Structure 1
Amino acid sequence: MHEFSLKIWGVRGSTPTPGTGTLRYGGETTCFEIRAGDDLIVVDCGSGARNLGYELVKGPGRPVDLFFSHTHLDHICGLPFFKPAYDPRFHIKVWAGCFNPHRELKDVICRVMSPPVFPITASNLKGIEFGEFIAGSCMDRDSGLRICTMPLNHPGGACGYKFIYDGKSMCIITDHEMGDAEIDDAVVEFIRDAEVVIYDGMYTSVDYEKYKGYGHSTWEHVVEQCVKANVKTPVIFHHDPTRTDDELDEIGIAAKERHPGALIASEGMVFRP
């Protein structure tokens, strides 16, 4: 049996949150490492990608596919510090499916990596190739990995991912705001019977009354969706930067009362379905 795994390198939303209150769950923003057979997939390049990059360059160069859920700053701020992107031993194909026809991923990266915003331009990234797809499509890899995608409800657009390998599936649903019944129902079908689902549960139901329209869901909604979809392990993710470890502990206890398999995402978690 070939390896099929997902590792979390960053769990926070909006901005990195170092400090004593985030030591246990972590303060880096979104980044995932997926391995399936010979494939290495990275989803999002938030600040957590910096540490992933340090690990990757310790080994031999190889192809890497980097998929973005979307290009808000907390999901791309690690790219200028992702060491494989400067290492000619690596070939990195960068993908996004959240854009309308009038915007391209390369343009977004070049805007972020250019003076006076950042001193090193995107032209310094070695071995980078850009690819695009339309959210809602699937891609089949030579390794046997199938990557399916769906559009999410988030300002400016976002893309959810499902990774299917050897009959098992793991999903990433971030960033996504609940409340659109048609999209929420589509998410349930997208994640149905998955072994692991990483899902944006940034807010509590009390918080959400103040933050409707910001583009995120509540942890209560995450668990409800995963119960409907018969998900084995719901993982509450994209933690509010003000949320302390102790508060996340309390959410984790309450979530398990609604779904025994529910977990709070923490940096370093590895799933092997």
Structure 2
Amino acid sequence: MTIENNQFTVHFWGVRGSIASPGPETVRYGGNTPCLEIRVGGQRLIFDGGTGLRVLGQHLLAHTPIKAHLFFTHSHWDHIQGFPFFTPAFIPSNHFRIHGVIAPDGSTIEQRLSGQMLHPNFPIPLQIMGASMEFFDLEVGEKVDIGDVVVENALLNHPGEAVGYRINWQGHSVAYVTDTEHYPDRLDENVLKLADQADILIYDATYTDEEYYSPRYSKVGWGHSTWQEGVKLATAAGVKQFIIFHHDPLHNDAFLDAVAAAAVEKFPNTLMAQEGMVLSVMDETPASR
């Protein structure tokens, strides 16, 4: 599959957070965990390797040989568990450049991806994968140039650390900000920088304010944010479109419908992330499946 040089589209392959949650009550928005594919300027960029990466892999089998760049926000399991099931990584004709920030314990993204595939967690080690794979350790704040596409990152507020990304091309940009917790008394400067005037902001809105501040089941300190805080950030950053992402596994389709309706009242150009959704950055065409 050829990616057009004038293409800048975002494809959602996994939009759920924490744990995959398939079933009749999540079928419309989807139950796979995070994976985005961005086709931009003739390049294929993949962000996170949750269970949605397996679905993307099945789609890509008809388009080998494949060259792609993979960027990981962090290595919590809901963001890497799809990697061992990413079939294109077992095909020798394919080539992947894999990027991730070194973890606080000093481990690289290669070590963390490999570690989840070792006995007793998994029967097949990473070394069995036949594709050509190059691993790159990113510094926080480092820019990566891929042709004329520039990928930036910034540190987020998440247990064990995570980074968000901003993809820039020809004056357009997408901000991917998942797994971050807002601050109680201020907007996160790192998130504002990533989202500044972005065409699309994809944001971790796992909870509602009511859930986050619940006296009985408080989510303070869990490393995730709310759609209400996302609206504040989208407004302050002047983004064109706000995407609610990283849905809680307990939030069924009806619940997400209600959240979407409430969010649109506050920020009219809001969409609920949905598996199979495709957004065009260049002309802001409506979501499609």
> What TM-score, normalized to structure 2?
0.91
| Residue 17 (structure 2) pairs with residue 13 (structure 1) | yes
* CA–CA separation in structure 1 for the residues paired with 2:89 and 2:64: 14
SS of equivalent residue, structure 1 residue 117: coil
SS of equivalent residue, structure 1 residue 58: helix
Q: Residue in 2 aligned with 1:22? A: 26
Q: Residue in 1 aligned with 2:138? A: 133
Check conservation: 1:98, 1:151, Cα contact below 8 A: no
SS of equivalent residue, structure 2 residue 70: strand
Identity of aligned residues (%): 38
Q: Residue in 2 aligned with 1:208? A: 212
Relative to structure 1, the CA distance from residue 180 to residue 129 in structure 2 (aligned partners, 3 Å threshold; closer, same or farther) is: farther
Q: How many residues get paired? A: 272
SS of equivalent residue, structure 1 residue 57: helix
Q: Which moved more, 1:103-112 or 1:72-81?
A: 103-112
| 1:31-46 pair list within 5 angstroms | 31-46=35-50
1:133-162: CA deviation from partner (whole Å, max 9, x where unpaired): 1121211222x1111110101011101011
* CA–CA separation in structure 2 for the residues paired with 1:151 and 1:186: 7
SS of equivalent residue, structure 2 residue 25: helix
* CA–CA separation in structure 2 for the residues paired with 1:141 and 1:178: 31
Runs of 4+ aligned residues of structure 1 deviating over 4 Å after TM superposition are: 180-183
| 1:74-89 pair list within 5 angstroms | 74-89=78-93
| 1:255-270 pair list within 5 angstroms | 255-270=263-278
How big is the shift at 1:101?
Answer: 6.8
Q: Residue in 1 aligned with 2:254? A: 246
| 1:219-238 pair list within 5 angstroms | 219-238=227-246
1:119-144: CA deviation from partner (whole Å, max 9, x where unpaired): 111111221221111121211222x1
Check conservation: 1:152, 1:183, Cα contact below 8 A: no
SS of equivalent residue, structure 1 residue 20: coil
SS of equivalent residue, structure 2 residue 59: helix
How big is the shift at 1:58?
Answer: 0.7
| Residue 67 (structure 2) pairs with residue 63 (structure 1) | yes
Check conservation: 1:57, 1:84, Cα contact below 8 A: yes
How big is the shift at 1:180?
Answer: 6.4
Q: Residue in 1 aligned with 2:115? A: 111
* CA–CA separation in structure 1 for the residues paired with 2:115 and 2:66: 27
* CA–CA separation in structure 1 for the residues paired with 2:229 and 2:187: 13
* CA–CA separation in structure 1 for the residues paired with 2:95 and 2:38: 16
CA RMSD of aligned residues (A): 1.4
Mind listing any 5+ residue stretches in structure 1 that lack a counterpart?
none
* CA–CA separation in structure 2 for the residues paired with 1:269 and 1:122: 30
The one-letter amino acid of 1:27's match is: G
* CA–CA separation in structure 1 for the residues paired with 2:73 and 2:190: 17
